[in-house]
Amino acid sequence: MSKKLSQEALRTQWQKALEGVLLKRPTDLIVDNSTFDLNDGVIIDIKDLEDQVENGKADISDIAINLKHPPRQSVYTKLSALLVEMQHATEGVQTFRQNFRALRDTSCKVSCKERERNQKDGVPDAFWTTELIRWLKQVLNIECDLEACHLATMLCKTGYIYPCNVQWNAVNFKISEPDGNMVFRYQTPFYWPNESQFPLDQDHASHLLMREANNHGIPMDEYEIMCLSRLKKVLKHQWDCITQSALTQTSFLEGCCPSDQYINAWQNYAFWRVRRPPAYYKYICKAESCLNGPNRNFPSFTETSIVPSENDKEKKTAMSPSKILTSSCKRSTGPYKLQCKAWGMSFDALLKDELGQLTFEKHLKKEFSEENLAFYLDCIYLRSAPLKELEELIQSIFSEFISPNGATPVNIDTQTLNAVKAEMKTKKTRFVFDLALEHIYKLMKKDSYKRFPSSKLFKETLETAIVPQKPEKEKGKLPKIWRLSQFLTKGKEEDPERGENNK
Amino acid sequence: MPGYRLINQISMANPKAGSQSTSIAELRKEADQLKIKLNEDRKNLDDAKLFEMGAKPDIVNYQARCRRILKGHSSKVLDLDWSLDKRRIVSSSQDGKVLVWDCFAASKEQLISLPTTWVNACAFAPSGCSIACGGLDNKCCVFPVNACSYSNSGSNVAGSTTIRPSGAVGPSDVCSGSIMQQRKVVAMHTSYISACSFTHSDYQILTASGDGSCALWDVESSQLLQSFHGHQSDVMDAALNPMETGNLFISGGCDKRACVWDMRTAKCVQSFQTHKSDINSVRWFPTGEAFATGSDDATIRMYDLRADREIACYEKKSILFGINSVDFSVSGRIIFGAYNDYLVHVWDTIKGTKINSLLGHENRVSCLKMSPDGTAFCSGSWDTTLRVWA
C-alpha cells in the first residue's frame, strides 16, 4: 500500500516538475503507468527510481527541483533574472506608493477606515510606463522606443508584471506609447510562468468563487461569470471541495492587512487574466467552411474566386484579381539583367538557373562539348531519381557517356574511367558516377566557363536582358496590385460576423 | 541542465551495478574536458573575426512591409513552404489542416484535412504538383495538388489563372473524400515528424523526426533509402544543401547539436555544439558553404564548413526570446529570424547588427521562409495567420 502511495506522490511530483516541458513538443511527456518518456533518450522507470530512493541513492525532491528549469525554459530563466534586476532597490525601476485614491473610480469597496489608512501610506512597488521603458532602454541598450514598448508588452503577456487596469486583456494588450501613464506592478514569483505552468480548472474555479465573494474593487467580468457557471457544471463532483478551499483562502486573507489583500487580489486577477484570458476573438474563417462554397462572411475568398457575386459584377470586370495579377506579374521568357550578371560571376549560379543552363548549352555547342553539360544534368537527376528507374538510368548514362563505344563519351582520364568501371561492377548506387562528375564539373568550370563571360553569346544575352520596370504609379495612388490588397483587407475588417463573435 | 544529466545517470546506472554510475560520471567529465580543449584548439586557429572584417562595407537598409495577410487557419500555423513558382504557399497548422495558398491574391486554393493534429512539417515538391506533410502521426504523406496549371519552371507565370470548381460545389467536400485515397504514406518514424523536404526532385523526401533520426525516402515505393542516426535527442529541423552537386545536409536538434551529414555514407561528418539550448531551425547559406542555426537560447549562430567552427553569433541583450526559424536572403547578406516574442528580427550577416524588427504578428512566429526568387518572405505564426513581407 505504502509503495503505491509513494508512486502516486512521485508521479505528481514529476508531473509538476516536468509540466513546463510540454510547451513546445506535445509528445515530450508521456505518462503511463510506469514510465516517463522524456523523448530525449531519457526514460525514467518509476520502479527503478523507487528503488533508488529506498536505497537512499537519489532524492526525488532534488530531481524535481533540478528539472524546474529544464533547458527549454531558458527564456523564462532569463526573464526571471531580468525581473530580479528590475526590483533592485537602487538601480532597479523606480517605484512609488500607489494610492487608493487613484483607484476610487474602479468602485472600490474598501471600508472608509481602511481607505484612510491606505491613503496615508499607499501600496508600495507600483511604477509608471515611462519609468519602465526608460529602465529597459537603459539596461538593455535599446535605442528604439517601439522595441522597449514591445518588450514591456511581452513581460505583461508572459505574466511577470501586470498593469493596474481592470480592462486589460492578456491577448491583445499592447503598450503603444513609451510615455503613457499606465501603472504597473510586479507579479509575485509564485505566479511566474516557470513555477506554475499549467494551472488547473479547479484553481480557477476557486479563484472565481473568491472573486464572487469579494472582488476588491475589480468587478467581475461577464466572461468570468460565464466561466464560473461553466466550471460549476464541469466540476460538479468536486464543487464542495472547491468551495471549501475558497473559503479557507478567504478567511486566511481576511487576517492580512488591507494593502496585502489588495495586492493579492490584483495578482490573482492578473495571473488568471494571463492564463485564462477571455476569448477575445474567434477566428474569422474556419478553413473548412471557408472552402465550402461562396459565403458572404468571407469577402476575401469570394472576391478572388472565379465566380463573381452578382451585386459587384461591375467591380469584378474592373479589377478581377486574377487579371490584374497576371498582367502585372507578367514574366517574359528572357532573363533579367541581374540574373544575367550573376551568370557571369558564378558558375554555380549559372548551372542552377534553367535559363542559364540553356545559354551555357548554346555556348558549349559552339565549343563542341555539350555532352559535358548533358552528363552533368543526367547525373544530378540520378541523385534523386525514383528507385524504380535507378538501374535503367545508371545503365543508360554509362552507355551513353562513359563507355568508349557510347554515342557521346565525355572526356575523362583513364584513371577515373577505370575507377567508375570498377564501381559499376561492384555496386550500382546513385553515386557511382561521382568521380567522373567531379572531373567534368571542374573541367567545365575551368575550361569552358572561363571563356563564357567573354563570349559573344553571353554579351548579347546580357545586352538583350530585361531591366524590370517599377509598376507605374498613378498620381497619388498605389499601384494596382496593392490597391487590390487594401480593398481585400478592408472587406475583412468590416466583416459583420466578426463583430458578433467578439461578444 | 543538471537535472537532465542526473537523470541520464540514474537511468543508465542500474541499481545492481552501482559502481557504473561513478564511472559514467567520470567519462562525462572527461568528455566535457575534451570538448573544452577542442574548442580552445579551434580558437587558436582563428585568423580574423567576421564582424571585424565586415565593418567596412556599407550598412544595408532593409525596410519591409506586410503585403499580404493570409487568414484561414483556425489554429496555430506550424510550418510553411513556397512553391518554386514563387506564387503558391503551403502551410500546416496544429489542428491538422494543410492549406495551399495563392499568395498574390491571398486566396486559398486547396484544403487537406489530416486525421492527425500538430502537422509540424509541410513541403512543396519542386514541380509544384504535390505536397508532403507530416506530424504527430509519425507519418509523412504526399498529396497531389489540383491546381497544377503553373509552369514549374517559373519562367512564365503569365496566363496561368487557376480554374477552380465553382464555389457552390464546395470543392473541399469533393476532394477531401478522394484526397485521402490519393494520399501516399511515404515515411514512417517511431516519433513525430518535425521537418520534411523534397530533395532536388519530386522523387525523394528527407524527413527529420522526434525519434532522433533523419531519413531519406523514395516517394514512389515508400522505401527507406538511407537513415541517419547520431542525434541524442529529437531532431527539430533538417535542410538539404542548396548546391545540386552537394551530397550534404544539415540537421539540428534538442541535443543542441548541429550535424552535417554525408548522404552517401549516412555518416555525420561534422558537428557543432555551441548553442546553449535546443536548435529549432537550420538553414544553409545560399552558397552551401556555411549555415545558420536558430535556437531557444535567443541566438542565431553561423557555422562555416571550411573553417569547421562557429563564425558568427547574432544576439542582443534585449532579445530574450527563442528563435523558431531562420532564413537567409538570396544574396546571404541578411538573416531573418522568427522569434517567440512575436517579432521577425532582421540581421546583417557580416556586421552582426540588427537592422530591423518587423512587428505584425500577434503571437509567436513559428516559421519563416524566403521566396525562391528572394523578392518576398512569408512568416507563419501561432496567431493563425501567415504574412507575406516585401
Q: For B6-60, how does the pLDDT look when each residue is reduced to its tens digit (9 = 90+)?
A: 444 444 444 454 566 678 889 989 988 998 898 888 888 878 888 888 888 888 8
Does the beta-carbon distance from A40 to B102 stay under 8 Å? no
Over residues A323-351, mean pLDDT = 69
Q: Is B247 on the interface with A (CB under 8 A)?
A: yes
Contact A376, A448 (CB under 8 A): no
Query: Mean pLDDT in chain B?
Result: 84
Question: In this predicted structure, what is the pLDDT of residue A68?
Answer: 35
Q: Which residue of B has its CA nearest to A438?
A: B245
Does the beta-carbon distance from A384 to B166 stay under 8 Å? no
User: DSSP class of residue A20?
Assistant: G
Over residues B108-128, mean pLDDT = 90
**pLDDT category, B120, cuts 50, 70, 90?**
very high
Q: For A199-242, how does the pLDDT look when each residue is reduced to its tens digit (9 = 90+)?
A: 777 888 888 888 888 777 677 777 788 888 888 888 888 888 88
SS3 B102: strand
Chain A hits for B173, Cβ within 8 Å: 292
Contact A156, A187 (CB under 8 A): no
**pLDDT category, A287, cuts 50, 70, 90?**
very low
Among the partner-chain residues B71, B106, B278, the one whose CB lies closest to the CB of A485 is: B106
Helix (H) or strand (E) holding A2: helix A2-18
Cα distance between residue A257 and residue A343, in whole Å = 77
Question: In this predicted structure, what is the pLDDT of residue A461?
Answer: 87
Q: Is B155 on the interface with A (CB under 8 A)?
A: yes
Say what percent of chain B tops pLDDT 90. 49
Residue A268 above 60 pLDDT?
A: yes
Contact B244, A351 (CB under 8 A): yes
Does the beta-carbon distance from A287 to B74 stay under 8 Å? yes
Residue B67 above 80 pLDDT?
A: yes
Question: In this predicted structure, what is the pLDDT of residue B152?
Answer: 37
> Cα distance from B131 to chain A (closest Cα, Å)?
16
**Which cell numbers hold the place of A95?**
517605484
Over residues A36-60, mean pLDDT = 43
Does the beta-carbon distance from A305 to B357 stay under 8 Å? no
Which A-chain residues 158-177 have CB contacts (< 8 A) with chain B? 171-172
Q: Is A315 on the interface with B (CB under 8 A)?
A: no
User: DSSP class of residue B58?
Assistant: P
Cα distance between residue B327 and residue B292, in whole Å = 8
**Which cell numbers hold the place of B92?**
500546416
Does the beta-carbon distance from A304 to B321 stay under 8 Å? no
Does the beta-carbon distance from A492 to B71 stay under 8 Å? yes
Cα distance between residue A64 and residue B189, in whole Å = 31
C-alpha distances (whole Å) from A116 to each of A113, A179, A216 are 5, 30, 16
> Cα distance from B201 to chain A (closest Cα, Å)?
6
Contact A290, A302 (CB under 8 A): no
Q: Is B226 on the interface with A (CB under 8 A)?
A: no
Which A-chain residues 441-460 have CB contacts (< 8 A) with chain B? 441
Which B-chain residues 22-51 have CB contacts (< 8 A) with chain A? none
Q: Is B78 on the interface with A (CB under 8 A)?
A: no
Of A14-23, A60-69, A90-99, B11-20, the one with minimum mean pLDDT is A60-69
Probe site for chain A from B142, B341, B358 (most A CB atoms < 10 A): B341
Helix (H) or strand (E) holding B11: helix B2-12
> Cα distance from A384 to chain B (closest Cα, Å)?
6
Q: Is B52 on the interface with A (CB under 8 A)?
A: no
SS3 A177: coil
Does the beta-carbon distance from A39 to B210 stay under 8 Å? yes
> Cα distance from A117 to chain B (closest Cα, Å)?
40
Q: What angle do CA B281, B282, B284 make, to 5 degrees?
A: 150
Question: In this predicted structure, what is the pLDDT of residue A295?
Answer: 32
Residue A178 above 60 pLDDT?
A: yes
Does the beta-carbon distance from A300 to B244 stay under 8 Å? no
Chain B hits for A39, Cβ within 8 Å: 191, 210, 233-234
Q: Using CA atoms in the order A439, A445, A447, A448, what is the torsion angle rounded to 10 degrees?
A: 120
Question: In this predicted structure, what is the pLDDT of residue A60?
Answer: 41
> Cα distance from A389 to chain B (closest Cα, Å)?
10
Does the beta-carbon distance from A380 to B244 stay under 8 Å? yes
Helix locations, B118-252, DSSP H:
171-182
C-alpha distances (whole Å) from A117 to each of A113, A215, A264 are 6, 20, 18
Contact B258, B237 (CB under 8 A): no
Cα distance between residue B253 and residue B325, in whole Å = 13
Question: In this predicted structure, what is the pLDDT of residue A432?
Answer: 87
Higher-pLDDT residue of A203 and B250 is B250
Please enumerate in sequence order all residues whose Cβ is within 8 A of that of A249, keeping only pairs 6 or more positions apart, or say none.
A206, A210
pTM higher than 0.80: no
Over residues A281-303, mean pLDDT = 34
Of A182-196, B149-163, B274-288, the one with minimum mean pLDDT is B149-163
Chain A hits for B167, Cβ within 8 Å: 293-294, 302, 305, 307
Chain A hits for B168, Cβ within 8 Å: 293-294, 307
> Which of left, alpha, beta for B37 (phi over 0: left; psi -120 to 50: alpha)?
alpha
Q: Which residue of B has its CA nearest to A353?
A: B153
CB-defined contacts A:B, below 8 A: 250
> Cα distance from A186 to chain B (closest Cα, Å)?
19
* Backbone torsions φ then ψ of A243, nearest 5 degrees: -60, -40
Among the partner-chain residues B117, B155, B243, the one whose CB lies closest to the CB of A355 is: B155
**pLDDT category, B170, cuts 50, 70, 90?**
very low
Question: In this predicted structure, what is the pLDDT of residue B217?
Answer: 94
Which A-chain residues 318-337 have CB contacts (< 8 A) with chain B? 321-322, 325-326, 329-333
Q: For B355-386, how does the pLDDT look when each residue is reduced to its tens digit (9 = 90+)?
A: 989 999 988 899 999 999 888 999 999 888 99
Does the beta-carbon distance from B11 to A437 stay under 8 Å? no
**Which cell numbers hold the place of A150?**
514591445
Q: For A438-468, how does the pLDDT look when each residue is reduced to its tens digit (9 = 90+)?
A: 899 999 999 889 888 888 888 888 888 888 7
Please enumerate in sequence order all residues whose Cβ is within 8 A of that of A236, keeping only pairs 6 or more positions apart, or say none.
none
Among the partner-chain residues B108, B256, B357, the one whose CB lies closest to the CB of A290 is: B108
Among the partner-chain residues B168, B223, B264, the one whose CB lies closest to the CB of A294 is: B168
Angle between the A258-275 and A239-254 helix axes, to the nearest 10 degrees?
A: 140
Question: In this predicted structure, what is the pLDDT of residue A100?
Answer: 54
Cα distance between residue A97 and residue B14, in whole Å = 58
> Which of left, alpha, beta for B342 (phi over 0: left; psi -120 to 50: alpha)?
left
Residue B390 above 80 pLDDT?
A: yes
Does the beta-carbon distance from A287 to B320 stay under 8 Å? no
Q: Is B234 on the interface with A (CB under 8 A)?
A: yes
Predicted complex ipTM exceeds 0.85: no
**Three-class SS of A373-413:** HHHHHHHHHHHCCCHHHHHHHHHHHHHHHHCCCCCCCCCCC
Probe site for chain A from B12, B94, B107 (most A CB atoms < 10 A): B107
Contact B285, B332 (CB under 8 A): yes
Residue A286 above 50 pLDDT?
A: no
Question: In this predicted structure, what is the pLDDT of residue B100?
Answer: 93
Helix (H) or strand (E) holding B225: strand B223-229
Q: What angle do CA B218, B223, B229 make, to 5 degrees?
A: 90
**pLDDT category, B261, cuts 50, 70, 90?**
very high
**pLDDT category, B302, cuts 50, 70, 90?**
very high
Cα distance between residue B14 and residue B74, in whole Å = 47
Please enumerate in sequence order all residues whose Cβ is within 8 A of that of B87, keeping only pairs 6 or more positions apart, or say none.
B102, B103, B104, B150, B157
Cα distance between residue A8 and residue A62, in whole Å = 17
Of A287-291, A341-345, A474-478, B330-334, the one with minimum mean pLDDT is A287-291
Q: Is A437 on the interface with B (CB under 8 A)?
A: yes
> Cα distance from B321 to chain A (closest Cα, Å)?
6
Question: In this predicted structure, what is the pLDDT of residue B214?
Answer: 95
Question: In this predicted structure, what is the pLDDT of residue B309?
Answer: 86
> Cα distance from A23 to chain B (closest Cα, Å)?
12
SS3 B194: strand
Probe site for chain B from A291, A296, A298, A307 (most B CB atoms < 10 A): A291
Of A60-74, A371-385, B345-359, the one with minimum mean pLDDT is A60-74
Q: Is B359 on the interface with A (CB under 8 A)?
A: yes
Contact A19, A76 (CB under 8 A): no
Q: What is the DSSP string of A210-273?
A: HHHH--TT-PPPHHHHHHHHHHHHHTGGGHHHHHHHHHHHHHHHHTS-HHHHHHHHHHHHHHHH
Helix (H) or strand (E) holding B309: strand B309-314
Q: Is A111 on the interface with B (CB under 8 A)?
A: no
**pLDDT category, B258, cuts 50, 70, 90?**
very high
Among the partner-chain residues A44, A326, A381, the one whose CB lies closest to the CB of B161 is: A326
Please enumerate in sequence order all residues whose Cβ is within 8 A of that of B278, keeping only pairs 6 or more positions apart, or say none.
A24, A71, A72, B236, B253, B254, B256, B295, B296
Among the partner-chain residues A154, A172, A293, the one whose CB lies closest to the CB of B167 is: A293
Does the beta-carbon distance from B223 to A25 stay under 8 Å? no
Question: In this predicted structure, what is the pLDDT of residue A291?
Answer: 39
Among the partner-chain residues A38, A63, A140, the one whose CB lies closest to the CB of B317 is: A140
Residue A50 above 70 pLDDT?
A: no
